[in-house]
Amino acid sequence: MTEDALAYVNERGLGSLAEKMGIEMLEFTIERAVARMPVEGNTQPADLLHGGAYVVLGESLGSMSANLHAGPDKLAVGIEINATHTRSATSGYVTGVCTPIHLGRTLTTHEIAVSDDQGRRCSTIRITNLIKDRP
């Protein structure tokens, strides 16, 4: 399942926004998803990684993970997200590690820890997704 899920998401893609931001999925299972994103090209005027970029990385990981859990007949959609930024990344890559907090029939909640190349946590994101029938 692990290799199949990662191959599926790499073939399907993460969406045009994630593609524009250079997000690359590295690991993808229901228990853990990992992706990285370059700082360059995703900065604010002060040359720090934009806070919204952290959130895009977190939402990409959390939503894809929720949809993997939901299965092919369901659709997981984000209903709440929050982020706490604790450090600024200025170069290299940031890596997000997404783990489930709750995997239910109708709701999922994931935490995404985003760290810089030195392993220092820069942002913590939590996302809740609603699982519903596909239209």
Q: What residues act catalytically?
A: 59
Long-range contacts of 102-106, Cβ-Cβ distance < 8 Å, separation of 24 or more:
103/30, 103/69, 104/131, 105/131, 106/130, 106/131, 106/132
Question: E-assigned strands of the chain?
Answer: 24-28, 33-38, 74-85, 93-103, 107-115, 121-133
Is residue 120 within 8 A of residue 85, CB to CB? The reply is no
